[in-house]
Structure 1
Amino acid sequence: MPRAASIFFILLPFRLVTPAAAADPDLIVVGAGIAGLSAALEGARAGLRVTVIEQNSVPGGHAVISSGGLSLIGTPLQERMKIADSPEIAYRDFLKWGEDANEPWVRYYVNNSRREIYDWMEALGVEFVFASMNGAGNSVARFHVPRDQGLGLVIPLYREILRQGGVTFRMNTRVTALRMANGRVAAVETEDLRTGAKADLSGGAVLLATGGFAARLDLVLSSWPRQMRKPERVVAGGGYFAFGGGMELARQAGGVSTNLDHQWNYATGLPDPFDPEGKRGHFAQAPGAIWVNAQGKRFVREQHEPKATIPVVAAQKPAFFWAIFDAEGRKGFRVIHAGFSDDRLRELFEAPGFIHRADSIAQLAARANLPADTLEATINRYNALVESGEDTDFGRFGPHLPRPLIGGFPVPAPRKIATPPFYAAPMYILIRKSMGGILVDLESRVLNREGKPVPGLFAAGEATGFGGLNGKNGLEGTFLGPAILMGRIAARTAAAEIKPPRATPAAPTRRIRTTPPAVSPKLGGACRECHDVTRLVAENRAGYWHFTQSHKLVVSRQWNCIGCHAEMAPFRPASHKIDREVQTAVCQHCHTNPPFPGRRTESRTGE
């Protein structure tokens, strides 16, 4: 990517205005994750002028880093795969697994997911490639995986918004307060995260799609389920801006939040050694590992569902464990994060004093501060169980047990931990998704303490805990799907209330540019004359989070700027600016996994 062009990309203020969206908005959407984008498109198609306000400099939210899987019922893909599913089967699965799921939301979801999500997303260009079980609780395979994972959901949706028109995006901007007028939410107060400038924006209604609170660890722990021991430390592994801001905004207007102890977490949270605050972590999977506590003993069935493993991990003192594996197990170790490359994984393993490596179990125990005799006995016992073919200690494997699934596919058969080098990776409970949040009704209207709608205020997606649809335990795929559905419902409800005095727009005929121009990689060298990428990344400036993260890769891998910003070359002052339409073609450089065709370092350097 021309190094400089990639800098200029972020230096320019992003106030993308699609055609016919210059006037004050009818609907203000706070958050550009998949719920907010779904709401923006639904609102624009209903004839609303929509403004989307987002803290990041790019849309997509948590969906971009996810697998993109959706729990959908009775779809053509299931029919082609000869999977017999129905709303009634799904309804029973949701209620049984969730334990206290919101039954009206469950009923609406299972009855309408095919039409309102599958058909709608397919019409936008999303391609669902297979359906799998992917986790316990489902009677049949209904976890629908799109091509290009989460990016495969976000990019078609975002492009359709650009084609549709009627939508303004205000990026790098935080909503700090709601304004009331005549008993109705009628405006928002905003702050530009780069300049600090404050401004008010009026609108006919406000829709909160701000995500959950998984990144606010103090609130996570203060809301920890009472029936479970509170861990000494957890790591955040959800959206980077998921600080629960939507709940505070709703509270200002009289809205209430509920079920904050309903959280969907994972046991295998690998702390990020490069996070300066030590709060972030990665969702790791090590199918060849055993889990041992600080005393060097196995304590739970590895590869079991979070519903079963997290209470046991939390009960350990301290509440963490070491994933112990060998050279063969290292081959299967991965981080579940779309676009997390082998290079980034290698950096984790090479971080000093983080994932320990040794040529013997005794050495490994010393480096991880584990009792050597106990650890060796634990591994010898596990290896003997593998040789016998049955885990009689914890039921991980055996002749009559189904093989566990990861990503919908069976994990490899268990192997002995016997091939050096040996590894010990620290694991903490990873906070992933919020299943409690702003209280809403079936029309996604925010409710007050009396259970009545707050006029002019709507909410959707993880900000609401997905309407309580998951209860205490979510089935895989029941997060992005409800976010899409609720975003659409909220925008429809707002449109019916606002009743804009204009005709519903016709189907868009506007064409957008999604193919970067063909230019010589040699032009990328000129970018460095103006833009010191290394310095700008090191400054870690407020309002430049995405720039900093993406350009860390640019610096470490010496990528050519032309790879992402060909539309800015050759340099012409009058046209030296980012083309947000073309940019939708290059997100895959960082956000698809496994690598898309041609994704090699050579292609990025232009050599």
Structure 2
Amino acid sequence: MIDTLILQKVSKKTIRNVMLFAIMLVMVSPTVILAAEKGQQHDAIVVGAGIAGLSASWELAQKGFDVAVIEMQPLYGGTATMSEGALCIVGTPEQAKAGIIDSPQIAFKDFMTYGSDQGGPGPDVEWVRYYTNKSRHEIYDWLTGLGVTFEKSAVLMPGNSVPRWHKVIGKGRGLVEPIHRACKQSSRVTFFYGHKALSLIRGKSGRISGIRAQRLKDNVSIDYLAPVVILATGGFQGNMKMVQKYWPERQPFPERILKGAGINATGSGHEMAQAVGARLFNMQYQWNYATGLQSPSDITGSRGLNAFSQQSIWVNKAGSRFVNESQDTRMTFPELIKQPGGTYWAIFDSAARNSFFISGWSRESIEEGLFNNQQNSRFVKSAPTIAELAVAAGLPPQILTETVNHWNAMVTAGSDTDFGRIGCCRTPWSNPNRIERAPFYAVQFYPLARKSMGGVSIDRSCRVLDDSGKHIPGLYAAGELTGLAGVNGKASLEGTFLGTSIMTGRVAGRAAAAELSGQTKP
């Protein structure tokens, strides 16, 4: 690295020549490492500034330890910032005020039932027990103490016997910013943005002693050294090669699948951990959605958003419904990938436009970025009649008209004789309206690679385990990298991804702090 004092003593021409040379090297080989800096020593290193990494960093800072947070992106937050900021929590004041009777015992049964299936392991019993017993204290009380505010009522989501999905005011940003602010205020946490972790450093004793990172602006290699390292790098659903490698055998791989995870969710943490002997588990447990909307801001067409209208019906290329739209992704995703082209159109009217949902987006953003954006005309269609809408979307006009008319008749009769949607559950999906108010809309959807429920194996202190079940000294992991500690098993209760990321982040931070303090038992 060229020191700023030295720069003041050399000519501008020399500086320009050095910079041009550096740019030429990067253009020839983007991964070339131009130089290496002397290693930086810290008490602890956290890789990833998402919600799990921030939670771990906060815990370490509270115990007085110096923390270096290595983050590839120029900003903190990761996938959490693009979420609804909703958490699955048991026994909150919001539930009590609404007269909702909930308990760890009721929640434990819901978790174990929903995440289990015939064949293969289900949820991790001990982590489920910890989550259901401690979510009020570890998540709700902690967050509100940091300044996070929740909406007044909890929402009932699939798999839950009572409403326990708590939405944060301000969505993902409203959830993440107070945690980040608390980390910054501690003065013990230093963020190194634009730094890509390349590999773990292992000492002669076999203990992890740091990470090697690459500063992306100039490709300089830097070793960050510490007695403990916490990996919080997220999942792998942004890496299509890994998604396909670990795809469930019983499902065909979709013709087209959009990346719905964060930009950093590339499986880099999995690869680093594996390189030092970490065990991976349940990698085939992927929680992918049938509600993938091509991202309007992505020019590559590869990234997607989780979006839907609860008042819509879904039709395939033939113009026919093919599924009960109110079911969760366990049912809708397999049906979607059976359809011609692996795609469908959501059909709804102007009355339903105001309730169209995109995860993490405000109402204003949806209107401006989707419906009023001419660049989206390929996958967002509008017309004054259903027949004209069909033509715009490339669907058979007569069949789509018949499908909508048949749907309206079933809504009036109060019974979905085709797929059993109407009145099937306690959600707006099962209490639909007729599609009759012009203009009419058709929005095209694809499969969406969203979350991973398998990952790096950890123990109850979030220490990373090897294939023999022994912990790798000095190495911890948290968040989606760990498959959310197996809390979900084969199916995710909504809100447990953010919730478990916070919980495992805090557990990892406390355990690492205990080890640094000389305690023999994290």
Pairwise TM-score range, normalised by the shorter structure: 0.7 to 0.9
Does structure 2 retain, via aligned residues, the 8 Å contact 1:263–1:436? yes
Aligned to 2:389: 364
- Match among 263, 266, 279 for residue 286 of structure 2: 263
Does structure 2 retain, via aligned residues, the 8 Å contact 1:150–1:338? no
- In 1, Cα distance between the equivalents of 2:511 and 2:47? 16
- The worse-fitting range, judged by mean Cα deviation, of 339-348 and 294-303 is 339-348
Matched, 1:481 2:499: yes
Shift of 1:347: 4.5
Question: Could you list the per-position Cα deviations for residues 455-476 of structure 1 after superposition, in whole angstroms to 9, with x for gaps in the alignment?
Answer: 1111000111101110111111
Does structure 2 retain, via aligned residues, the 8 Å contact 1:397–1:403? no
Aligned to 1:552: none
Shift of 1:412: 9.1
**Matched residue type, 1:232:** E
Aligned to 1:32: 49
- Match among 239, 243, 247 for residue 270 of structure 2: 247
Matched, 1:79 2:96: yes
- The worse-fitting range, judged by mean Cα deviation, of 149-158 and 453-462 is 149-158
- In 1, Cα distance between the equivalents of 2:335 and 2:50? 33
Shift of 1:373: 2.6
**Matched residue type, 1:256:** R
3-state SS, counterpart of residue 475 of structure 2: strand
Question: Could you list the per-position Cα deviations for residues 515-549 of structure 1 after superposition, in whole angstroms to 9, with x for gaps in the alignment?
Answer: xxxxxxxxxxxxxxxxxxxxxxxxxxxxxxxxxxx
Change in Cα spacing, 1:349 to 1:192, as seen in structure 2 (3 Å) is same
Matched, 1:235 2:258: yes
- Match among 35, 43, 49 for residue 66 of structure 2: 49
Matched, 1:198 2:221: yes
Question: Could you list the per-position Cα deviations for residues 128-176 of structure 1 after superposition, in whole angstroms to 9, with x for gaps in the alignment?
Answer: 3334233111112222222222222212211111221211110011101
Matched, 1:301 2:324: yes
- In 2, Cα distance between the equivalents of 1:112 and 1:471? 19
Aligned to 1:220: 243
- In 2, Cα distance between the equivalents of 1:140 and 1:82? 11
- In 2, Cα distance between the equivalents of 1:198 and 1:68? 35
Matches within 5 A, 1:326-405: 326-339=349-362, 340-348=365-373, 350-398=375-423, 401-404=424-427
Shift of 1:80: 3.1
- In 2, Cα distance between the equivalents of 1:469 and 1:195? 40
**Matched residue type, 2:165:** F
Does structure 1 retain, via aligned residues, the 8 Å contact 2:156–2:162? no
**Matched residue type, 1:279:** S
Matched, 1:442 2:460: yes
Aligned to 1:169: 191
3-state SS, counterpart of residue 343 of structure 1: helix
- In 2, Cα distance between the equivalents of 1:480 and 1:35? 8
Does structure 2 retain, via aligned residues, the 8 Å contact 1:446–1:454? yes
**Matched residue type, 1:451:** G
Does structure 2 retain, via aligned residues, the 8 Å contact 1:70–1:477? yes
3-state SS, counterpart of residue 128 of structure 1: coil
Shift of 1:331: 3.0
**Matched residue type, 1:353:** R
Does structure 1 retain, via aligned residues, the 8 Å contact 2:157–2:165? no
Aligned to 1:536: none
3-state SS, counterpart of residue 150 of structure 1: helix
**Matched residue type, 1:176:** L
Aligned to 1:600: none
- Match among 133, 151, 155 for residue 155 of structure 2: 133
Aligned to 1:468: 486
Aligned to 1:209: 232
Shift of 1:248: 0.5
Change in Cα spacing, 1:107 to 1:205, as seen in structure 2 (3 Å) is same
Aligned to 1:276: 299
Question: Could you list the per-position Cα deviations for residues 56-83 of structure 1 after superposition, in whole angstroms to 9, with x for gaps in the alignment?
Answer: 1111111122121111122333333332
Shift of 1:477: 1.1
Shift of 1:402: 4.0
Shift of 1:183: 0.4
Shift of 1:273: 4.2
**Is there any run of 5+ residues in structure 2 with no aligned partner, and where?**
1-38, 117-121
Does structure 2 retain, via aligned residues, the 8 Å contact 1:247–1:256? no
- In 1, Cα distance between the equivalents of 2:183 and 2:413? 58
Does structure 2 retain, via aligned residues, the 8 Å contact 1:294–1:317? yes
Matched, 1:310 2:333: yes
- In 1, Cα distance between the equivalents of 2:343 and 2:414? 28
- In 1, Cα distance between the equivalents of 2:136 and 2:379? 45
- In 1, Cα distance between the equivalents of 2:437 and 2:141? 49
- In 1, Cα distance between the equivalents of 2:154 and 2:94? 11
Does structure 1 retain, via aligned residues, the 8 Å contact 2:324–2:419? yes
Does structure 2 retain, via aligned residues, the 8 Å contact 1:360–1:422? yes
Question: Could you list the per-position Cα deviations for residues 89-119 of structure 1 after superposition, in whole angstroms to 9, with x for gaps in the alignment?
Answer: 1110000001111111101111111222222
**Matched residue type, 1:288:** Q
Matches within 5 A, 1:174-185: 174-181=196-203, 182-185=205-208
Aligned to 1:144: 166
TM-score (normalizing by structure 1): 0.74
Matched, 1:67 2:84: yes
3-state SS, counterpart of residue 222 of structure 2: strand
Aligned to 2:475: 457
**Matched residue type, 1:258:** F
Aligned to 2:22: none
3-state SS, counterpart of residue 114 of structure 1: helix
- In 2, Cα distance between the equivalents of 1:467 and 1:358? 47
Does structure 2 retain, via aligned residues, the 8 Å contact 1:26–1:204? yes
Structure with the larger RCO, 1 or 2 (CA within 8 Å, 6+ apart)? 1
- In 1, Cα distance between the equivalents of 2:279 and 2:83? 29
3-state SS, counterpart of residue 171 of structure 2: coil
Does structure 2 retain, via aligned residues, the 8 Å contact 1:268–1:429? yes
3-state SS, counterpart of residue 318 of structure 1: helix
Does structure 2 retain, via aligned residues, the 8 Å contact 1:172–1:193? yes
Aligned to 2:123: 101
- In 2, Cα distance between the equivalents of 1:377 and 1:280? 33
TM-score (normalizing by structure 2): 0.86
- In 2, Cα distance between the equivalents of 1:128 and 1:330? 26
Does structure 2 retain, via aligned residues, the 8 Å contact 1:134–1:476? no
- In 2, Cα distance between the equivalents of 1:78 and 1:150? 21
Change in Cα spacing, 1:349 to 1:137, as seen in structure 2 (3 Å) is farther
Change in Cα spacing, 1:203 to 1:461, as seen in structure 2 (3 Å) is same
3-state SS, counterpart of residue 479 of structure 1: helix
3-state SS, counterpart of residue 266 of structure 1: strand
3-state SS, counterpart of residue 427 of structure 1: strand
- In 2, Cα distance between the equivalents of 1:162 and 1:38? 12
- In 2, Cα distance between the equivalents of 1:41 and 1:300? 45
Aligned to 2:19: none
Matched, 1:424 2:464: no
Does structure 1 retain, via aligned residues, the 8 Å contact 2:278–2:464? yes
Matched positions, count: 473
- In 2, Cα distance between the equivalents of 1:412 and 1:307? 17
Identity of matched residues, %: 44
Change in Cα spacing, 1:477 to 1:274, as seen in structure 2 (3 Å) is closer
Does structure 2 retain, via aligned residues, the 8 Å contact 1:135–1:305? no
- In 2, Cα distance between the equivalents of 1:481 and 1:161? 18
- In 1, Cα distance between the equivalents of 2:373 and 2:356? 11
